[in-house]
Amino acid sequence: MAQISKRRTLAACAGIAVAAITAAGCSSSGGGGTSSSANNARGPITFVQGKDNVGLLAPMVAAWNAAHPTEKVTAKEQTDKADQQHDDLVQNFQAKSTTYDVVAVDVVWTAEFAAKGWLTPLKDSMALDTTGFLKAPVAAATYNNTLYAAPVSSDGGLLYYRKDLVPTPPKTIAELQADCAIAKKNGMSCYAGQFAKYEGLTCNVTEAMNTFGGKAVDAQGKPTIDSPESVAGLQYLVDGFKNGMIPQQELTFQEEQGRSAFEDGKYLFMRNWPYAYSLGSTDASSKIKGKFAVAPLPGVSGPGASTLGGHSAAISAFSTHKATALDFLKFLTSADQQKNNMEKGSLAPVIESMYTDPSLVSKYAYLPTLLTSIQNAVPRPVTPFYQGVTTAIQDNAYAALSGSKTAAQAVKDMQAAMLAASSGS
């Protein structure tokens, strides 16, 4: 790794004027491109993102490379697990590695990475125009009033349902619970979510808590999770495990396990992100093609509250080819790429007008439902200490779901652990 980094640094140095070399940190000791003259440097770059479940990455990189023969992008795919993606990036940043130029940043990592100085601020000569973008993903890529990443795809939770078996999707949790009888009658499981102990559990649990009126943090970021409303939200999931709405095996489910079980026809409902829509309709092995649709997540008396998800692309502070990296960010956020990601991979665009464009809505009927999900989505806490905060939520929620703590105790312990984590201890 160190060797590769050094080679990259030297290669970057070879192409720039001598006067700029010292300023760019291209001394004989190497050292990455943290100074502003790296902003002008061009050359090959590496783009790192989580596993491409939807097959968009290779054609996208090929299109860029054909147009940029001297500034080619090499794609590196991480695993499909959010926590492993995070840890891989942290290791690289901590080593000040110049191997990652552009990295996909989950909306909840922006604060941590920006506060640590690992991302290049997108301002002045590195500014990126976000006019016409949805507000939520732009806010999620912003920290301390500075944009640190280009919003690439948004995400909101959706209720996937088997329209051949449930003609009218449940609008409320009570209706969802009642519809489990249809699953039983058909020898199917009822509801698939993400309940393994990882980031997806935080999404599912805060979604349930917010739906019942809970709030993880207040406007100042102070934990306020210990409330009767949050307990009611968690209790709903605990009851789901107890009464069979959610099978025990889901304590190991991340997004992909639920998706393949739903595609296999084993579930009546699934909570998942929009990417699962395209795969359910196109996967050769999918048994549910044409048999499913999406609806807003159910709530107490109307639609529930989704957790805001999504990914941005940021330029590593240690990149030595930042001018190329910025052009690549502009390419990723261009209308053409956004449309392609939506049409081929059902990723949620960040360009707002695409959700109401009649020519798209007529082909992709789920777009208005997705827009509602994203516009009403609740962000997870914004803090540089997010990893501690999410661990506090996951550990205690998991204890409640697996039956080793009551929901009330779990929420109380969550609050205490969140308080400790948000002070950085």
Q: Give the one residue of 13, 45, 47, 106 binding ligand GLC; rule: CB under 6 A.
A: 106
Binding mask 8-37 vs ligand GLC (x if CB under 6 A, - otherwise)? ------------------------------
Q: How far is the CB of 342 from ligand GLC (least distance, A)?
A: 15
Q: How many Cα atoms occupy the beta-carbon half-sphere of 401 within 13 Å? A: 32
Stretch of 26-34, 176-184, 307-315, 391-399 lying at the interface with ligand GLC (CB under 6 A): 307-315
Q: How far is the CB of 154 from ligand GLC (least distance, A)?
A: 8
Binding mask 208-247 vs ligand GLC (x if CB under 6 A, - otherwise)? ----------------------------------------
Q: Give the one residue of 47, 143, 273, 398 binding ligand GLC; rule: CB under 6 A.
A: 273
250 is a contact residue toward ligand GLC (CB under 6 A): no
Q: How far is the CB of 310 from ligand GLC (least distance, A)?
A: 5
Contacts of 425 by beta carbon, 8 Å cutoff, 6+ apart = none
| Distance separating alpha carbons of residues 252 and 339, to the nearest angstrom | 34
Q: Give the one residue of 43, 193, 200, 303 binding ligand GLC; rule: CB under 6 A.
A: 200
107 is a contact residue toward ligand GLC (CB under 6 A): yes
Q: Give the one residue of 147, 173, 176, 203 binding ligand GLC; rule: CB under 6 A.
A: 203
| DSSP helix/strand/coil, 295 | strand
Inter-residue contact 104 to 152 (CB < 8 Å): yes
| Distance separating alpha carbons of residues 289 and 295, to the nearest angstrom | 17
Inter-residue contact 246 to 236 (CB < 8 Å): no
- Nearest by Cα to 332 from 123, 153, 156: 153
| Distance separating alpha carbons of residues 255 and 272, to the nearest angstrom | 7
155 is a contact residue toward ligand GLC (CB under 6 A): yes
- Per DSSP, which regions of 78-205 are E strands? 102-106, 142-143, 146-147, 150-156, 158-162, 189-192
Stretch of 19-27, 168-176, 308-316, 355-363 lying at the interface with ligand GLC (CB under 6 A): 308-316
Site for ligand GLC in 73-102 (CB under 6 A): 82
Q: Count CB neighbours of 382 within 10 A.
A: 18
Q: Count CB neighbours of 92 within 10 A.
A: 20
Q: How far is the CB of 200 from ligand GLC (least distance, A)?
A: 4
192 is a contact residue toward ligand GLC (CB under 6 A): no
Return the sign of the alpha-carbon dihedral for residues 95, 101, 106, 108.
Answer: positive
| Distance separating alpha carbons of residues 379 and 70, to the nearest angstrom | 39
| Distance separating alpha carbons of residues 113 and 376, to the nearest angstrom | 26
Q: How far is the CB of 251 from ligand GLC (least distance, A)?
A: 15
DSSP string, 188-237: -EEEE---SSSHHHHHHHHHHHHHTT--SB-TT--B---SHHHHHHHHHH
Q: Give the one residue of 199, 207, 250, 263 binding ligand GLC; rule: CB under 6 A.
A: 199
313 is a contact residue toward ligand GLC (CB under 6 A): no
Q: Closer to ligand GLC at the Cβ: 194 or 324?
A: 194
- Nearest by Cα to 207 from 346, 303, 295: 303
Site for ligand GLC in 123-152 (CB under 6 A): none
Q: How far is the CB of 147 from ligand GLC (least distance, A)?
A: 18
Stretch of 122-130, 197-205, 232-240, 241-249 lying at the interface with ligand GLC (CB under 6 A): 197-205
Q: How far is the CB of 106 from ligand GLC (least distance, A)?
A: 5
207 is a contact residue toward ligand GLC (CB under 6 A): no
71 is a contact residue toward ligand GLC (CB under 6 A): no
Return residues touching ligand GLC (CB under 6 A): 82, 106-108, 155, 199-200, 203, 255, 273, 309-311
